Chain A
Amino acid sequence: MLSTNHRLRAGDNPLQAEMRRIVESIYGPAVRRLPGLEIGRAYLNATNEEFRYGGDLVDVFHYGNGLTSVAMVDITGHGIHAAMYAGLAKHALRAYASRGFNARDSVRALNRLCIENSLFEADDEFFATVFFGIVDAERRTMQYVSAGHEAAYIVASDGATMLAATGPIIGLFDDDSAFDHGVARLSNGSILAAVTDGFSEARNARLEFLGAEALVDVVDRHRACEAEQQAEALTRYAYEYANEQLHDDVAALVVKVQTGRAA
Protein backbone atom coordinates (compact mmCIF):
# COMPACT_ATOMS: atom_id res chain seq x y z
CA MET A 1 0.00 0.00 0.00
CA LEU A 2 1.27 3.41 -0.87
CA SER A 3 1.18 5.86 1.95
CA THR A 4 2.73 9.22 1.42
CA ASN A 5 2.26 10.77 4.83
CA HIS A 6 2.20 9.47 8.34
CA ARG A 7 -1.41 10.04 9.16
CA LEU A 8 -3.80 9.26 11.91
CA ARG A 9 -6.00 6.43 10.86
CA ALA A 10 -9.25 5.02 12.00
CA GLY A 11 -8.57 1.95 14.09
CA ASP A 12 -5.33 3.23 15.57
CA ASN A 13 -5.07 2.50 19.22
CA PRO A 14 -4.15 5.54 21.31
CA LEU A 15 -0.56 4.45 21.49
CA GLN A 16 -0.18 4.02 17.75
CA ALA A 17 -1.78 7.40 17.34
CA GLU A 18 0.71 8.80 19.82
CA MET A 19 3.66 7.30 17.96
CA ARG A 20 2.39 8.70 14.68
CA ARG A 21 2.17 12.11 16.24
CA ILE A 22 5.71 11.82 17.51
CA VAL A 23 7.01 10.78 14.11
CA GLU A 24 5.03 13.65 12.59
CA SER A 25 6.49 16.01 15.11
CA ILE A 26 10.05 15.20 14.15
CA TYR A 27 9.54 15.19 10.44
CA GLY A 28 7.50 18.30 10.05
CA PRO A 29 4.25 20.08 10.72
CA ALA A 30 1.01 19.49 8.90
CA VAL A 31 0.37 21.34 5.69
CA ARG A 32 -0.53 24.89 6.32
CA ARG A 33 -1.19 28.21 4.76
CA LEU A 34 0.88 31.15 5.79
CA PRO A 35 0.39 34.74 4.70
CA GLY A 36 1.10 34.77 0.96
CA LEU A 37 2.23 31.14 0.89
CA GLU A 38 0.64 27.75 0.54
CA ILE A 39 2.75 24.84 1.65
CA GLY A 40 2.57 21.17 0.80
CA ARG A 41 4.81 18.30 1.64
CA ALA A 42 4.84 14.59 1.05
CA TYR A 43 6.96 11.76 2.30
CA LEU A 44 7.22 8.30 0.88
CA ASN A 45 9.04 5.50 2.64
CA ALA A 46 11.15 3.29 0.42
CA THR A 47 9.88 0.36 2.37
CA ASN A 48 6.22 0.34 3.15
CA GLU A 49 6.82 -0.04 6.84
CA GLU A 50 5.09 2.40 9.06
CA PHE A 51 7.27 4.32 11.47
CA ARG A 52 10.50 3.64 9.71
CA TYR A 53 12.67 6.58 10.61
CA GLY A 54 13.93 8.02 7.40
CA GLY A 55 16.76 10.38 6.74
CA ASP A 56 14.69 13.02 4.98
CA LEU A 57 13.39 16.04 6.82
CA VAL A 58 11.03 18.71 5.56
CA ASP A 59 10.39 21.62 7.87
CA VAL A 60 8.55 24.91 7.67
CA PHE A 61 8.52 27.55 10.39
CA HIS A 62 7.08 31.02 10.73
CA TYR A 63 8.88 33.65 12.81
CA GLY A 64 7.65 36.58 14.85
CA ASN A 65 9.20 39.00 12.34
CA GLY A 66 6.91 37.67 9.59
CA LEU A 67 9.53 35.63 7.74
CA THR A 68 9.05 31.96 6.91
CA SER A 69 11.78 29.37 6.64
CA VAL A 70 11.63 26.23 4.53
CA ALA A 71 14.11 23.46 5.11
CA MET A 72 14.80 20.22 3.35
CA VAL A 73 17.48 18.01 4.81
CA ASP A 74 18.63 14.70 3.36
CA ILE A 75 20.63 12.84 5.96
CA THR A 76 22.94 9.89 5.42
CA GLY A 77 21.53 6.72 6.86
CA HIS A 78 18.31 5.67 8.48
CA GLY A 79 17.13 4.76 11.89
CA ILE A 80 17.38 6.38 15.24
CA HIS A 81 20.59 8.26 14.62
CA ALA A 82 19.22 9.79 11.44
CA ALA A 83 16.10 10.81 13.34
CA MET A 84 18.24 12.38 16.03
CA TYR A 85 20.12 14.43 13.48
CA ALA A 86 16.86 15.36 11.80
CA GLY A 87 15.76 16.81 15.13
CA LEU A 88 19.06 18.59 15.56
CA ALA A 89 18.98 20.11 12.07
CA LYS A 90 15.35 21.12 12.35
CA HIS A 91 15.59 22.86 15.71
CA ALA A 92 19.04 24.36 15.18
CA LEU A 93 18.03 25.96 11.88
CA ARG A 94 14.90 27.35 13.52
CA ALA A 95 16.95 28.56 16.48
CA TYR A 96 19.50 30.41 14.35
CA ALA A 97 16.89 31.96 12.11
CA SER A 98 14.90 32.97 15.20
CA ARG A 99 18.02 34.72 16.50
CA GLY A 100 17.95 36.81 13.32
CA PHE A 101 20.61 34.93 11.35
CA ASN A 102 20.15 34.97 7.60
CA ALA A 103 19.99 31.68 5.67
CA ARG A 104 23.74 31.55 5.03
CA ASP A 105 24.75 32.24 8.63
CA SER A 106 22.15 29.76 9.87
CA VAL A 107 23.60 26.99 7.71
CA ARG A 108 27.17 27.95 8.63
CA ALA A 109 26.26 27.69 12.30
CA LEU A 110 24.45 24.39 11.71
CA ASN A 111 27.51 22.99 9.93
CA ARG A 112 29.71 23.98 12.87
CA LEU A 113 27.23 22.48 15.34
CA CYS A 114 26.98 19.21 13.40
CA ILE A 115 30.75 18.77 13.26
CA GLU A 116 30.98 19.47 16.98
CA ASN A 117 28.03 17.18 17.66
CA SER A 118 29.63 14.32 15.70
CA LEU A 119 32.73 14.60 17.86
CA PHE A 120 30.66 14.36 21.02
CA GLU A 121 28.26 11.65 19.88
CA ALA A 122 31.28 9.64 18.88
CA ASP A 123 29.40 6.73 17.37
CA ASP A 124 27.82 8.92 14.74
CA GLU A 125 28.94 10.04 11.36
CA PHE A 126 26.79 12.73 9.98
CA PHE A 127 26.53 14.21 6.53
CA ALA A 128 23.56 15.85 4.95
CA THR A 129 22.51 17.91 2.02
CA VAL A 130 20.50 20.92 3.12
CA PHE A 131 18.24 23.32 1.31
CA PHE A 132 17.36 26.21 3.60
CA GLY A 133 15.43 29.22 2.40
CA ILE A 134 14.16 32.22 4.32
CA VAL A 135 11.16 33.56 2.50
CA ASP A 136 9.96 37.14 2.73
CA ALA A 137 6.48 36.68 1.31
CA GLU A 138 5.74 40.38 1.38
CA ARG A 139 8.79 41.32 -0.69
CA ARG A 140 8.51 38.07 -2.66
CA THR A 141 12.13 37.15 -2.22
CA MET A 142 13.92 34.19 -0.73
CA GLN A 143 17.47 34.04 0.51
CA TYR A 144 18.59 30.45 0.31
CA VAL A 145 21.47 28.11 0.82
CA SER A 146 21.79 24.86 -1.01
CA ALA A 147 24.41 22.78 0.74
CA GLY A 148 24.90 20.17 -1.94
CA HIS A 149 21.17 19.82 -2.37
CA GLU A 150 20.81 19.54 -6.11
CA ALA A 151 17.10 19.39 -6.53
CA ALA A 152 15.29 22.66 -5.89
CA TYR A 153 13.54 24.66 -8.58
CA ILE A 154 11.39 27.72 -8.91
CA VAL A 155 8.72 27.05 -11.49
CA ALA A 156 7.19 30.28 -12.79
CA SER A 157 4.84 30.93 -15.68
CA ASP A 158 7.78 31.99 -17.86
CA GLY A 159 9.98 29.00 -17.13
CA ALA A 160 11.84 27.16 -14.41
CA THR A 161 15.02 28.11 -12.59
CA MET A 162 17.21 25.57 -10.92
CA LEU A 163 18.61 26.73 -7.58
CA ALA A 164 22.14 25.41 -7.85
CA ALA A 165 24.21 24.38 -4.87
CA THR A 166 25.81 27.30 -3.05
CA GLY A 167 28.07 25.16 -0.91
CA PRO A 168 29.17 21.63 -0.03
CA ILE A 169 27.16 19.14 2.03
CA ILE A 170 27.21 19.85 5.75
CA GLY A 171 29.12 17.92 8.38
CA LEU A 172 32.22 17.58 6.26
CA PHE A 173 34.22 20.81 6.05
CA ASP A 174 34.75 22.97 9.11
CA ASP A 175 34.95 26.08 6.97
CA ASP A 176 32.35 28.84 7.05
CA SER A 177 33.57 30.40 3.85
CA ALA A 178 32.57 27.31 1.91
CA PHE A 179 28.92 28.25 2.32
CA ASP A 180 27.51 31.01 0.19
CA HIS A 181 23.93 31.92 -0.52
CA GLY A 182 21.67 32.86 -3.39
CA VAL A 183 18.67 35.15 -3.68
CA ALA A 184 15.62 34.19 -5.67
CA ARG A 185 12.65 36.25 -6.73
CA LEU A 186 9.31 34.62 -6.02
CA SER A 187 6.89 36.19 -8.44
CA ASN A 188 3.19 35.87 -7.79
CA GLY A 189 2.04 32.41 -8.87
CA SER A 190 5.50 30.92 -8.88
CA ILE A 191 6.16 27.61 -7.17
CA LEU A 192 9.19 26.57 -5.17
CA ALA A 193 9.59 22.81 -5.35
CA ALA A 194 12.31 20.67 -3.82
CA VAL A 195 12.82 16.93 -3.54
CA THR A 196 15.36 14.65 -1.90
CA ASP A 197 17.66 12.43 -3.93
CA GLY A 198 15.30 9.51 -3.49
CA PHE A 199 13.40 11.25 -6.28
CA SER A 200 16.25 12.01 -8.67
CA GLU A 201 17.86 8.62 -8.09
CA ALA A 202 14.71 6.59 -8.65
CA ARG A 203 15.49 4.12 -11.45
CA ASN A 204 13.28 2.59 -14.06
CA ALA A 205 13.52 -0.95 -15.45
CA ARG A 206 16.47 0.06 -17.67
CA LEU A 207 18.22 1.41 -14.54
CA GLU A 208 18.02 4.97 -15.81
CA PHE A 209 17.89 7.67 -13.14
CA LEU A 210 14.82 9.82 -13.04
CA GLY A 211 16.83 13.00 -12.49
CA ALA A 212 15.78 16.11 -10.66
CA GLU A 213 14.63 17.99 -13.72
CA ALA A 214 11.60 15.74 -14.07
CA LEU A 215 10.27 17.68 -11.11
CA VAL A 216 9.63 20.72 -13.29
CA ASP A 217 7.34 18.83 -15.62
CA VAL A 218 5.34 17.27 -12.81
CA VAL A 219 4.89 20.58 -11.04
CA ASP A 220 3.93 22.29 -14.27
CA ARG A 221 1.28 19.69 -15.05
CA HIS A 222 -0.22 20.02 -11.58
CA ARG A 223 0.00 23.78 -11.49
CA ALA A 224 -3.69 24.19 -10.72
CA CYS A 225 -3.62 21.73 -7.85
CA GLU A 226 -3.15 22.54 -4.23
CA ALA A 227 0.40 22.49 -2.90
CA GLU A 228 -0.09 19.25 -1.00
CA GLN A 229 -1.46 17.48 -4.06
CA GLN A 230 1.55 18.70 -6.03
CA ALA A 231 3.91 17.35 -3.40
CA GLU A 232 2.12 14.02 -3.44
CA ALA A 233 2.18 14.00 -7.23
CA LEU A 234 5.98 14.31 -7.05
CA THR A 235 6.46 11.38 -4.70
CA ARG A 236 3.94 9.29 -6.66
CA TYR A 237 5.72 10.06 -9.92
CA ALA A 238 9.02 8.74 -8.54
CA TYR A 239 7.26 5.68 -7.15
CA GLU A 240 5.66 4.84 -10.48
CA TYR A 241 8.83 5.59 -12.44
CA ALA A 242 10.67 3.09 -10.24
CA ASN A 243 7.96 0.48 -10.81
CA GLU A 244 7.01 0.72 -7.18
CA GLN A 245 10.50 -0.26 -6.09
CA LEU A 246 12.15 2.74 -4.50
CA HIS A 247 15.52 2.26 -2.86
CA ASP A 248 15.50 5.48 -0.90
CA ASP A 249 12.85 7.59 0.78
CA VAL A 250 11.39 10.41 -1.25
CA ALA A 251 10.40 13.71 0.32
CA ALA A 252 8.88 16.61 -1.56
CA LEU A 253 8.23 20.20 -0.57
CA VAL A 254 6.07 22.57 -2.58
CA VAL A 255 5.60 26.25 -1.74
CA LYS A 256 3.13 28.22 -3.84
CA VAL A 257 3.49 31.95 -3.79
CA GLN A 258 0.09 33.54 -3.76
CA THR A 259 0.00 37.14 -2.78
CA GLY A 260 -3.36 38.63 -3.54
CA ARG A 261 -5.08 36.94 -6.48
CA ALA A 262 -3.27 33.97 -7.90
CA ALA A 263 -1.66 34.60 -11.26
Chain B
Amino acid sequence: MRVHLQDNNSIATGIETTPIRASDAGKRLGDSSVQIGTSGPPTRENAAEILIEHLFANTDARIPGITYAVAYRLAEEFIGGDIVDVYHFDNNSVAFSIADISGKGARAAVHAALIKYGLRAFSSHGLAPERALRSLDRLYLENNNFEQSESFATVFFGLVDPKRKVMAYASAGHEPVIVVHPDRTVEVLAPTAPLIGVFDDQHHLFTQDVVTLSAGTLFVATTDGVTEARNSRGEMFGMDRFIETVKRNFDCELKQLIASVIDEAQAFSAGRLVDDMAIVAARFL
Protein backbone atom coordinates (compact mmCIF):
# COMPACT_ATOMS: atom_id res chain seq x y z
CA MET B 1 0.00 0.00 0.00
CA ARG B 2 1.42 3.30 -1.06
CA VAL B 3 -0.40 5.94 0.86
CA HIS B 4 -0.66 9.46 1.99
CA LEU B 5 -2.92 10.75 4.72
CA GLN B 6 -5.60 13.16 3.59
CA ASP B 7 -7.06 15.90 5.76
CA ASN B 8 -9.80 13.68 7.08
CA ASN B 9 -7.38 10.85 7.84
CA SER B 10 -8.86 8.64 5.20
CA ILE B 11 -6.42 6.71 3.09
CA ALA B 12 -5.80 7.32 -0.55
CA THR B 13 -3.44 5.42 -2.77
CA GLY B 14 -0.77 7.27 -4.67
CA ILE B 15 0.55 6.30 -8.04
CA GLU B 16 3.96 4.92 -8.79
CA THR B 17 5.30 5.96 -12.15
CA THR B 18 8.11 3.46 -12.46
CA PRO B 19 7.87 1.14 -15.45
CA ILE B 20 6.37 -2.07 -14.27
CA ARG B 21 6.57 -5.67 -15.20
CA ALA B 22 4.16 -7.99 -13.52
CA SER B 23 5.66 -11.02 -11.92
CA ASP B 24 3.41 -13.93 -11.30
CA ALA B 25 4.97 -15.37 -8.20
CA GLY B 26 2.28 -17.96 -7.82
CA LYS B 27 4.47 -21.00 -7.43
CA ARG B 28 5.53 -22.19 -4.06
CA LEU B 29 8.99 -23.16 -3.05
CA GLY B 30 8.35 -26.60 -1.75
CA ASP B 31 12.00 -27.33 -1.12
CA SER B 32 12.91 -26.35 2.39
CA SER B 33 16.60 -26.44 1.61
CA VAL B 34 16.41 -23.47 -0.72
CA GLN B 35 19.30 -21.18 -0.05
CA ILE B 36 19.92 -17.73 -1.32
CA GLY B 37 23.28 -16.31 -2.12
CA THR B 38 25.03 -19.55 -2.88
CA SER B 39 24.68 -19.23 -6.63
CA GLY B 40 25.13 -15.59 -7.36
CA PRO B 41 23.22 -12.69 -5.93
CA PRO B 42 19.55 -13.19 -5.20
CA THR B 43 17.22 -12.02 -7.91
CA ARG B 44 14.19 -9.97 -7.17
CA GLU B 45 11.98 -12.91 -8.03
CA ASN B 46 13.49 -15.42 -5.66
CA ALA B 47 13.78 -12.87 -2.88
CA ALA B 48 10.11 -12.08 -3.18
CA GLU B 49 9.14 -15.72 -3.51
CA ILE B 50 11.04 -16.73 -0.45
CA LEU B 51 9.42 -13.97 1.49
CA ILE B 52 6.02 -14.99 0.25
CA GLU B 53 6.77 -18.57 1.09
CA HIS B 54 7.36 -17.45 4.64
CA LEU B 55 4.43 -15.28 5.04
CA PHE B 56 1.55 -16.16 2.80
CA ALA B 57 -1.20 -18.55 3.68
CA ASN B 58 -0.63 -22.26 3.48
CA THR B 59 -2.59 -23.24 0.41
CA ASP B 60 -2.15 -26.98 0.79
CA ALA B 61 -4.21 -27.41 3.90
CA ARG B 62 -7.63 -29.02 3.72
CA ILE B 63 -10.24 -27.46 5.93
CA PRO B 64 -13.52 -29.37 6.40
CA GLY B 65 -16.53 -27.52 5.02
CA ILE B 66 -14.51 -24.78 3.36
CA THR B 67 -12.68 -24.42 0.09
CA TYR B 68 -10.34 -21.50 -0.30
CA ALA B 69 -7.72 -20.05 -2.59
CA VAL B 70 -5.10 -17.36 -2.30
CA ALA B 71 -3.27 -15.39 -4.97
CA TYR B 72 -0.84 -12.52 -5.06
CA ARG B 73 0.90 -10.57 -7.74
CA LEU B 74 3.87 -8.40 -7.01
CA ALA B 75 4.45 -5.00 -8.47
CA GLU B 76 8.00 -4.44 -9.64
CA GLU B 77 10.29 -2.87 -7.04
CA PHE B 78 8.04 -4.02 -4.27
CA ILE B 79 8.65 -6.73 -1.73
CA GLY B 80 6.01 -7.14 0.90
CA GLY B 81 3.25 -4.79 1.82
CA ASP B 82 0.30 -7.15 1.49
CA ILE B 83 -0.34 -10.21 3.58
CA VAL B 84 -3.00 -12.91 3.43
CA ASP B 85 -3.44 -15.62 6.02
CA VAL B 86 -5.79 -18.54 6.48
CA TYR B 87 -5.64 -20.49 9.70
CA HIS B 88 -7.49 -23.51 11.05
CA PHE B 89 -7.71 -23.60 14.83
CA ASP B 90 -7.84 -26.95 16.50
CA ASN B 91 -11.28 -26.07 17.90
CA ASN B 92 -12.31 -26.19 14.22
CA SER B 93 -12.93 -22.48 13.73
CA VAL B 94 -11.15 -20.84 10.81
CA ALA B 95 -9.58 -17.41 10.47
CA PHE B 96 -9.17 -15.32 7.34
CA SER B 97 -7.01 -12.25 7.47
CA ILE B 98 -5.80 -9.79 4.90
CA ALA B 99 -3.77 -6.66 5.47
CA ASP B 100 -2.30 -3.86 3.45
CA ILE B 101 0.76 -2.29 5.03
CA SER B 102 2.18 1.15 4.41
CA GLY B 103 5.58 1.21 2.76
CA LYS B 104 7.41 -1.63 1.10
CA GLY B 105 10.52 -3.70 1.38
CA ALA B 106 12.01 -5.19 4.50
CA ARG B 107 10.15 -2.88 6.85
CA ALA B 108 6.81 -3.85 5.38
CA ALA B 109 7.85 -7.51 5.54
CA VAL B 110 8.52 -7.23 9.26
CA HIS B 111 5.10 -5.76 9.77
CA ALA B 112 3.50 -8.44 7.60
CA ALA B 113 4.98 -11.11 9.85
CA LEU B 114 3.91 -9.21 12.92
CA ILE B 115 0.32 -9.01 11.68
CA LYS B 116 0.12 -12.63 10.57
CA TYR B 117 1.62 -14.19 13.67
CA GLY B 118 0.22 -11.59 16.07
CA LEU B 119 -3.31 -12.36 14.88
CA ARG B 120 -2.72 -16.10 15.06
CA ALA B 121 -1.38 -15.69 18.59
CA PHE B 122 -4.22 -13.51 19.85
CA SER B 123 -7.02 -15.47 18.24
CA SER B 124 -5.52 -18.84 19.15
CA HIS B 125 -5.74 -17.67 22.73
CA GLY B 126 -9.45 -17.00 22.33
CA LEU B 127 -9.71 -13.30 21.59
CA ALA B 128 -12.68 -12.24 19.48
CA PRO B 129 -11.85 -10.39 16.24
CA GLU B 130 -12.36 -6.92 17.69
CA ARG B 131 -10.20 -7.77 20.70
CA ALA B 132 -7.56 -9.36 18.51
CA LEU B 133 -7.33 -6.24 16.33
CA ARG B 134 -7.23 -3.97 19.36
CA SER B 135 -4.39 -6.02 20.83
CA LEU B 136 -2.66 -6.04 17.47
CA ASP B 137 -2.93 -2.25 17.31
CA ARG B 138 -1.29 -2.00 20.71
CA LEU B 139 1.53 -4.34 19.68
CA TYR B 140 1.92 -2.48 16.40
CA LEU B 141 2.24 0.86 18.18
CA GLU B 142 4.75 -0.63 20.62
CA ASN B 143 6.71 -1.94 17.66
CA ASN B 144 6.64 1.47 15.94
CA ASN B 145 7.97 2.95 19.12
CA PHE B 146 10.65 0.28 19.52
CA GLU B 147 11.81 0.38 15.92
CA GLN B 148 11.24 4.09 15.52
CA SER B 149 9.11 3.46 12.47
CA GLU B 150 5.85 5.06 11.43
CA SER B 151 4.09 2.13 9.89
CA PHE B 152 0.35 1.68 9.70
CA ALA B 153 -1.92 -0.84 8.08
CA THR B 154 -5.45 -1.71 7.17
CA VAL B 155 -6.40 -5.16 8.45
CA PHE B 156 -9.43 -7.38 8.02
CA PHE B 157 -9.79 -10.31 10.40
CA GLY B 158 -12.69 -12.75 10.17
CA LEU B 159 -13.29 -15.73 12.41
CA VAL B 160 -15.58 -18.40 11.02
CA ASP B 161 -17.61 -20.72 13.19
CA PRO B 162 -18.38 -23.48 10.68
CA LYS B 163 -21.02 -25.07 12.88
CA ARG B 164 -23.10 -21.95 13.39
CA LYS B 165 -22.26 -20.80 9.85
CA VAL B 166 -21.33 -17.29 10.83
CA MET B 167 -18.24 -15.16 10.53
CA ALA B 168 -17.50 -12.61 13.21
CA TYR B 169 -15.19 -10.00 11.76
CA ALA B 170 -13.43 -6.79 12.52
CA SER B 171 -11.98 -4.56 9.86
CA ALA B 172 -9.45 -1.87 10.67
CA GLY B 173 -10.10 0.40 7.72
CA HIS B 174 -9.77 -2.41 5.16
CA GLU B 175 -12.26 -1.74 2.36
CA PRO B 176 -12.39 -4.38 -0.38
CA VAL B 177 -14.06 -7.29 1.41
CA ILE B 178 -17.33 -8.80 0.23
CA VAL B 179 -19.62 -11.71 0.82
CA VAL B 180 -21.79 -12.98 -2.04
CA HIS B 181 -24.78 -14.91 -0.76
CA PRO B 182 -26.19 -17.89 -2.69
CA ASP B 183 -28.94 -15.66 -4.12
CA ARG B 184 -26.10 -13.48 -5.53
CA THR B 185 -26.83 -10.56 -3.26
CA VAL B 186 -23.61 -8.86 -2.30
CA GLU B 187 -22.77 -7.67 1.17
CA VAL B 188 -19.80 -5.32 1.55
CA LEU B 189 -18.10 -5.88 4.89
CA ALA B 190 -17.39 -2.28 5.81
CA PRO B 191 -14.67 -1.26 8.26
CA THR B 192 -15.55 -1.57 11.93
CA ALA B 193 -12.45 0.12 13.33
CA PRO B 194 -9.80 2.71 12.48
CA LEU B 195 -6.64 1.53 10.75
CA ILE B 196 -3.91 0.24 13.04
CA GLY B 197 -0.61 1.82 13.97
CA VAL B 198 -1.82 5.41 14.16
CA PHE B 199 -4.05 6.27 17.09
CA ASP B 200 -3.16 5.27 20.60
CA ASP B 201 -6.36 6.66 22.07
CA GLN B 202 -9.05 5.33 19.77
CA HIS B 203 -9.56 1.84 21.11
CA HIS B 204 -13.18 2.57 21.97
CA LEU B 205 -13.79 2.81 18.22
CA PHE B 206 -12.87 -0.85 17.64
CA THR B 207 -16.04 -2.83 17.06
CA GLN B 208 -16.97 -6.02 15.24
CA ASP B 209 -19.82 -7.33 13.19
CA VAL B 210 -21.12 -10.67 12.05
CA VAL B 211 -22.23 -12.11 8.71
CA THR B 212 -24.21 -15.26 8.01
CA LEU B 213 -22.61 -17.86 5.75
CA SER B 214 -25.34 -20.12 4.50
CA ALA B 215 -24.31 -23.03 2.27
CA GLY B 216 -22.84 -21.76 -0.99
CA THR B 217 -21.82 -18.34 0.32
CA LEU B 218 -18.69 -16.88 -1.22
CA PHE B 219 -16.22 -14.66 0.64
CA VAL B 220 -13.67 -12.55 -1.24
CA ALA B 221 -11.16 -10.11 0.22
CA THR B 222 -8.49 -8.26 -1.66
CA THR B 223 -6.15 -5.29 -1.28
CA ASP B 224 -6.33 -1.86 -2.82
CA GLY B 225 -3.77 -2.85 -5.46
CA VAL B 226 -6.88 -4.32 -7.15
CA THR B 227 -9.52 -1.69 -6.45
CA GLU B 228 -7.17 1.22 -7.03
CA ALA B 229 -5.61 -0.04 -10.26
CA ARG B 230 -5.93 2.91 -12.65
CA ASN B 231 -6.45 3.23 -16.36
CA SER B 232 -4.84 5.88 -18.58
CA ARG B 233 -7.64 8.33 -17.74
CA GLY B 234 -6.85 7.99 -14.06
CA GLU B 235 -10.06 6.09 -13.29
CA MET B 236 -9.84 3.40 -10.65
CA PHE B 237 -10.90 -0.23 -11.09
CA GLY B 238 -13.04 0.37 -8.02
CA MET B 239 -15.35 -1.67 -5.84
CA ASP B 240 -18.07 -1.89 -8.52
CA ARG B 241 -15.84 -3.58 -11.10
CA PHE B 242 -14.39 -5.79 -8.36
CA ILE B 243 -17.90 -6.89 -7.33
CA GLU B 244 -19.01 -7.35 -10.94
CA THR B 245 -15.99 -9.54 -11.70
CA VAL B 246 -16.62 -11.68 -8.65
CA LYS B 247 -20.31 -12.07 -9.49
CA ARG B 248 -19.54 -12.97 -13.08
CA ASN B 249 -17.17 -15.70 -11.90
CA PHE B 250 -19.35 -16.85 -9.03
CA ASP B 251 -19.71 -20.39 -10.31
CA CYS B 252 -16.07 -20.85 -11.28
CA GLU B 253 -13.45 -22.63 -9.28
CA LEU B 254 -11.99 -20.31 -6.68
CA LYS B 255 -8.54 -20.39 -8.24
CA GLN B 256 -9.99 -19.20 -11.51
CA LEU B 257 -12.21 -16.64 -9.81
CA ILE B 258 -9.36 -14.91 -8.02
CA ALA B 259 -7.12 -15.09 -11.09
CA SER B 260 -9.88 -13.37 -13.07
CA VAL B 261 -10.10 -10.55 -10.54
CA ILE B 262 -6.38 -9.94 -10.63
CA ASP B 263 -6.15 -10.31 -14.41
CA GLU B 264 -9.00 -7.90 -15.02
CA ALA B 265 -7.65 -5.32 -12.62
CA GLN B 266 -4.27 -5.57 -14.31
CA ALA B 267 -5.81 -5.42 -17.77
CA PHE B 268 -7.75 -2.34 -16.64
CA SER B 269 -4.49 -0.59 -15.91
CA ALA B 270 -3.12 -1.70 -19.30
CA GLY B 271 -0.89 -4.33 -17.73
CA ARG B 272 0.92 -1.98 -15.40
CA LEU B 273 1.19 -3.11 -11.81
CA VAL B 274 1.83 -0.16 -9.57
CA ASP B 275 0.97 -1.84 -6.29
CA ASP B 276 0.96 -5.39 -5.02
CA MET B 277 -2.28 -7.31 -5.37
CA ALA B 278 -3.35 -9.94 -2.90
CA ILE B 279 -6.62 -11.81 -2.82
CA VAL B 280 -8.26 -14.58 -0.84
CA ALA B 281 -11.55 -16.29 -1.59
CA ALA B 282 -13.47 -18.93 0.32
CA ARG B 283 -16.64 -20.87 -0.25
CA PHE B 284 -18.62 -22.31 2.62
CA LEU B 285 -20.31 -25.63 2.03
Contact = CB atoms under 8 A, between A and B. Distances in A.
A49 B38 contact: yes
B29 interface: yes
B58 A95 contact: no
Interface string B106-140: 11011001101110111011000000000110110
B139 A80 contact: no
A36 interface: no
Given A116-B90, A120-B87, A25 B139 contact: no
Q: Is the interface of A mostly helix, strand, loop or mixed?
A: helix
A146 B192 CA distance: 40
B41 A13 contact: yes
Contacts of B42: 15-16, 19, 51
Interface residues of A, number: 49
Interface stretch (B6-14, B141-149, B175-183): B141-149
Contact of A92 (B43, B50, B105, B121): B121
B89 A116 contact: yes
B51 interface: yes
A121 B55 CA distance: 13
Interface string A74-109: 000111110110011011101110110000000001
Nearest to A53: B35
A73 to B, nearest CB: 13
Interface of A: 13, 15-16, 18-19, 21-22, 24-26, 29, 49-53, 61-64, 77-81, 83-84, 87-88, 90-92, 94-96, 98-99, 109-110, 112-113, 115-117, 119-123
Interface of B: 29, 32-38, 41-44, 47, 50-51, 53-55, 58, 60-61, 79, 87-90, 105-107, 109-110, 113-114, 116-118, 120-122, 124-125, 135-136, 138-139, 141-143, 145-147
